[in-house]
Amino acid sequence: PEAALAATVLVEGWVVGPPDPQPADTRDPRDALRARFAVEVTSLTLDGRRVPATGRARLTVLGSPIAVRYGDEIRGRFRLRHPRRFENPGAFDYPAYLASRRIFLEGWTREPVEVEPASSGFRPLGVIFGVRAMLLERLDAALPSAQAGLLKAIVLGDRSGVTAEMQRAFLDSGTYHVLAISGLHVGILAGALFGLFRLGRASPRLAAAAAALLVTFYAALTGAGASVVRAAVMADAYLLAIVLDRRSDLLNSLALAALALLWWNPRFLHDVGFQLTFLATLGIVLLLPRCVSRLGVLPRPLRWALESVAITVAATVVTLPVLASSFNRVAPVGVLANIPVVPLSGAITTLGAAMCGVLLVVPEGLAWLNQTNVWLADALFALARWFAGWPWSSLRVYTPTAGMIVAYYAAVASALWAVPTVPGGGGASRRWARWAAVGCCLILLVQVQGRLHPAVEDGLVRVTMLDVGQGEAILVEVPGRGRMLVDAGGLLGDGFDVGERVIAPFLWHEWVDRLDVVVLTHPQSDHIGGAATILRTFPVGEIWTGGSPAVSPMDVWIQEYLRHRRIPHRVVAAGDSPLHWGEAGIRVLHPGPDGADESPLRPRRPLGVNDRSVVLRVQLHDRAILLTGDLAREGEAAVLRSGAALTAQVLKVPHHGSRHSSTEEFVHAVRPAAALLSVGHRNPFRHPHPEVVARYEAAGVRLWRTDRHGAIRVEMRAGETRVRGRRDGGETPSESATLDADVEGPLPMQNAN
């Protein structure tokens, strides 16, 4: 029932898979995250009324030690909700990601949860996941933590032991795919098993049948992800062809794997992992023969190296738009890095699987085999780090538009048709295909060039408040590609980097290549938590701060980073010369120029960190928006006492609408027609406070909230200010309003809808 989503309910169900591991280096004691697992819900109890239920939920237990296994029955009080995404352009679709795994609810609790062992009865998956858990424990015991982490990822698909340093090295070197179980691992294992059985003098049919059974078991052992199932189906189809003495076709096997997965779960079609694994394989199947047939007679080592390059290039060419759209990252160095990394990871897959087989019988393993895997893991990580250190090893790229993606794939398809599999083929149709490929490339270049032009036309200022949860990040854009980011904070905890996961994807989607100014209004994590990633990722002209002393390790790191990178750091104060960008002006109204800022409400007491927030007024002719950071009552009083011009059509609500902010005097002085609130859905601070909401409503001010409207965009032109909110899941605004008054007169608001 929907009522269950607004209260804490008693949830009963059984665990449908192994618990999600916590990634290494992200365990935050403040979160006390103990377990996260998927449950098939059987009943919900609310207000003493127990009702049957069906469907899956992803449950998180905080603060209480808990161990669960597949098939265990659980019973606990959870707060449930529908999965939510950050409603920004370019945002990751988290609800769709969970839906592809048949999960439609989330829940969390800090209360103890009852766990009953799986009821009697044979559950094949329970046995397989039990074996997996045992192997993970024995790998941890037999190997040092770093090497065990790599082996668990490569052999069993468990990346909990992969540290942040390892992830960055493999990402930047273009070799991250070796850490995700895919066709590479399954294909190597299938070939090794078939060869092993043949060495044992088994007939080809018997060897193929035995290898197919073990490949299927291995796919289940690793968690049966989309890439693993695809690879397993393809390998089994190939092996089955040997059993039946039939000729196998790779394209048919690939199509069979795709149909099998989509029949099992049609939502896989929109899953990035599904798209990448099938596109990469399709690229290799279609492009590799065209490359290999042109190599001619070459020495075997050189031919092998060129074929390795061709495989990487083929996979990259076909997956490039998906990589750019989903991750905004390409790694050119991967073309070379994969030459040694792929065979080395293949050796780890084979010997790691052998080690797992030994660990099933001998818990401590064999010393020589353990040590060999340690050496191989060390060599793999060393290679990844070395290639990641190359200049331009990894590039961040803009999010392509739908038109660009269509033009790109049309160019690739035309090029494939223009280049025959065997040299010497040709004809009129292939000549036309060459011209079509050239035409598609020109169309693509025109689209890219058009997107690189200034996004904000003359006479317009655009301000976007991002949906970052309980935090704040605001992008100000003016004509001529001038861009200012005001704060970079948001949802924190559980290793979540709001800069990498929320703010940067939005900037890439908007084709932001540089930030002229980054303003950090005050040093608190909900306003600067993502700043480190933004400073590392984007060229920054200068940093503005209010001069507050560092109060967190993040703030100390930022100050050290600015000194190291020699990014100009400007401590701003009221009275500083305004920044002029064409027709637009940005003026600092707070903190005061003396740096002390004594509280006007408590004499001889300095203002706190929130009340020393940098306050900016962005103006275009008769239009203005006031950005207030986390000002509270005392900071607002200080701004009022300064006598600065405050009137603005749009006000960024101070301190997320807390009870001790947005005083009646301050709201009256600003006289806004619209007020923007950056708040998290069901945030623990209960922002905005009902009294503050009532105060704005009584003043006739329209409230726009990121938890309801998503990202909020304000566009100011001479004589017009327009506010738009982003609708769930769409590019069109859910609501919009036009503010028709100037900053000197009364400020009524008329709905545009």
Q: State the SS3 of 446-458.
A: HHHHHHHCCCCCC
- HEC sequence for 98-142: HHCCCEEEEEEECCCCEEECCCCCCCHHHHHHHHHHHHHHHHHHH
For residue 74, what pLDDT is reported? Answer: 94
Q: Is 440 left (phi over 0), alpha (psi -120 to 50) or beta?
A: alpha
Distance CA 530, CA 254 (A): 41
pLDDT tens profile 211-226 = 999 999 998 888 777 6
For residue 429, what pLDDT is reported? Answer: 73
Strands (DSSP E) contained in 274-381 are: 329-330
Q: What separation in angstroms does the CA of 622 have from each of 474, 649, 715, 719? A: 21, 9, 13, 7
Query: What are the residue ranges in the chain where pLDDT is below 70?
Result: 1-4, 6, 21-33, 119-122, 226, 421-428, 454-455, 491-495, 550-552, 594-604, 727-753
φ/ψ (deg, to 5) at 470:
-85, 80
For residue 291, what pLDDT is reported? Answer: 81
Calculate helix-pair angle for 250-264, 226-243, nearest 10 degrees: 130
* CB distance 324 to 505 below 8 Å: no
Residue with tokens 């020393």: 612
For residue 753, what pLDDT is reported? Answer: 31
**Nearest by Cα to 119 from 29, 25, 15:** 15
For residue 66, what pLDDT is reported? Answer: 82
For residue 551, what pLDDT is reported? Answer: 65
* CB distance 143 to 348 below 8 Å: no
Buried b (16+ CB within 10 A) or exposed e, 416-438: bebbeeeeeeeeeeeeebeebbe
For residue 731, what pLDDT is reported? Answer: 42
> How much of the chain is helix, strand and coil, in % rounded to 5?
45, 20, 35
Contacts of residues 118-124 at CB distance under 8 Å and 24 or more positions apart, as own/partner, are 118/14, 118/69, 118/70, 118/71, 118/72, 118/73, 119/71, 119/73, 123/70, 123/71
For residue 492, what pLDDT is reported? Answer: 65
Distance CA 510, CA 88 (A): 11
Q: What separation in angstroms does the CA of 689 have from each of 465, 566, 677? A: 20, 41, 11
Q: What is the dihedral of CA 68, 71, 73, 78, to 10 degrees?
A: 60
For residue 748, what pLDDT is reported? Answer: 33
Distance CA 84, CA 104 (A): 10
pLDDT tens profile 242-301 = 888 887 777 888 888 888 888 888 888 888 888 888 898 899 888 888 887 777 777 878
Distance CA 242, CA 262 (A): 26
Residues 6+ apart with CB under 8 A from 403: 447
DSSP H or E stretch at residue 674 = strand 674-677
**Nearest by Cα to 631 from 621, 641, 622, 623:** 641
Distance CA 680, CA 473 (A): 13
